[in-house]
A and B are shown apart, each in its own frame.
Chain A
């Protein structure tokens, strides 16, 4: 047997398990419960790094035909800490190519997205490479939205060989990883001729 949140509250109230102030209707209490459950922890900060470049183009397709590396599909939604979608966020995303090189002269593997009312984003890229001065593969994010603290962070991949299959235990092998939360599972999709690594990375901004 299942109950709606309101039914559950009513039953609890009936048995005295919940004492209700006369001024608070059950629907409001249920709504507050919903809101509490939606609350999200802000995405941890992780260094900007030296290769940020302003004025990236607005594009969801970062890879070009023939680019080396496993295709990567990154997606997610931008929320505030109450779990509400932020409709006017801007996302800047940048990474190396599969050989571990950032494009400084141009804008390869760089984008500036405006997710819009749904707050969702999705890009097509390739798995970034390793490079000598960094331990792990990573993707940089800068997320801004009016009324919210700008978020600077990095996404890491649970499949990175650096973690030896155990990111819980080994994530500190990269001293720049500030939180285990930044290491995301990688789901292999597609067919044998076109395998794609898919990663979901929701972002949560603090209110100013």
Chain B
């Protein structure tokens, strides 16, 4: 999952790679090919070549080692306000770490299986935890995290999830190829979609919360009405590949999808889809930036030269 998220960020950052304006340079603790930007754009996680993980403050370059190479997480993600970082580990442990102050972190055993997916809810107070080959769970992040809900599937685990912008709706995709909708007030499953034959690897809401985009091994984006769960439209497939991430751009008119070659012989490629016309354009993204994200409507990208990272704003 780590690689998939990185690919998504790389793809986002590639949208305007042609014209970039350097903003600042940051000294890294090590040479790194993999960073992630917090949703606020003020912090970076930096994965060193020995797989140790650091947190770096963009403004002053302050560095903090989060995890050593022998305690590396299998998955990690920032909260939307950037104040927390959640990490899941191969032994099923989850750790939620404050990124900006000395608030105490929380650590607990969420499962006995490797954690493959963690996602904060928009309020930053709840966390979805998805182990491999086991049902997902949702946790209330008090001083002592408590389990709010279990999200069963027919077999396997959860391959993707999306939470509506208002936090009231959760959609999960299972290894069993089924999409399930949950009301996050009652934690009742409200509907499910069983017509996919292949797995879904990417789910996202549009910014208005009205639509859900799903994509995966069938190499195409399927758009659902978020409330009714009905399929609205399906974009053309890109045969021979699988979609591993989808991001909605702007106010929701376009979506960016990262495709991986099923045979593994070709590098990933990126298409930007116009959701209204179902037309796509490929992106030229050579060389790919090492991280990126949309912050305050502006596209920020990273590039590295040795232990120096340059943060740029795309025009």
Contact = CB atoms under 8 A, between A and B. Distances in A.
Interface string A105-147: 1000000000000000000000000011110000000101000
Interface string B191-230: 0000011110100000000000000111100000000000
B133 A101 contact: no
B239 A105 contact: yes
A134 B264 CA distance: 9
A132 B263 CA distance: 7
Contacts of B34: none
Contact of A48 (B175, B218, B240, B242): B175
Contacts of B198: 51-54, 104
Given A100-B263, A105-B239, A150 B199 contact: no
A132 B217 CA distance: 17
Given A150-B156, A152-B133, A152-B155, A131 B264 contact: yes
Contact of B197 (A45, A48, A54, A102): A54
A50 B199 contact: yes
Contact of A45 (B133, B219, B242, B262): B133
Nearest to A151: B155
Contacts of B199: 48, 50, 52
A55 B175 contact: no
A174 interface: no
B265 interface: yes
Contacts of A101: 262-263
B265 A102 contact: no
Given A104-B198, A144-B155, A152-B156, A52 B175 contact: yes
Nearest to A105: B239
A47 interface: yes
Contact of B177 (A47, A52, A100, A131): A52
Contacts of B265: 132
B262 A47 contact: no
A150 B157 CA distance: 11
B197 A132 contact: no
27 contacts: A47-B132, A48-B175, A48-B199, A50-B242, A51-B198, A51-B217, A52-B177, A52-B198, A52-B217, A53-B197, A53-B198, A54-B196, A54-B197, A55-B197, A100-B263, A100-B264, A101-B262, A102-B262, A104-B217, A104-B218, A131-B264, A132-B265, A134-B264, A142-B155, A144-B155, A150-B155, A150-B156
B219 to A, nearest CB: 8
B253 interface: no
Contacts of A105: 239
Interface in B172-199: 175, 177, 196-199
Contacts of A152: 133, 155-156, 175
Nearest to B241: A104
Contacts of A50: 199, 201, 216-217, 242
B123 interface: no
B195 to A, nearest CB: 10
A48 B156 contact: yes
B75 to A, nearest CB: 15
A55 B239 CA distance: 20
A188 B175 CA distance: 35
Nearest to A102: B262
B166 interface: no
Interface in A56-101: 100-101
B315 interface: no
Interface string B140-153: 00000000000000
Contact of A132 (B154, B156, B239, B264): B264
A150 B262 contact: no
B10 to A, nearest CB: 17
Nearest to B195: A54
Contacts of B201: 50
Contacts of A55: 197
- Which A-B residue pairs are the 4 nearest by beta carbons? A132-B264, A150-B155, A133-B264, A54-B197
Contacts of A142: 155
B118 to A, nearest CB: 18
A51 B197 contact: no
B96 to A, nearest CB: 26
Given A52-B175, A131-B264, A150 B217 contact: no
Nearest to A47: B132
A143 B156 CA distance: 11
A104 B242 CA distance: 10
B154 A150 contact: yes
B155 A131 contact: no
A45 to B, nearest CB: 5
B157 to A, nearest CB: 8
A131 B242 CA distance: 15
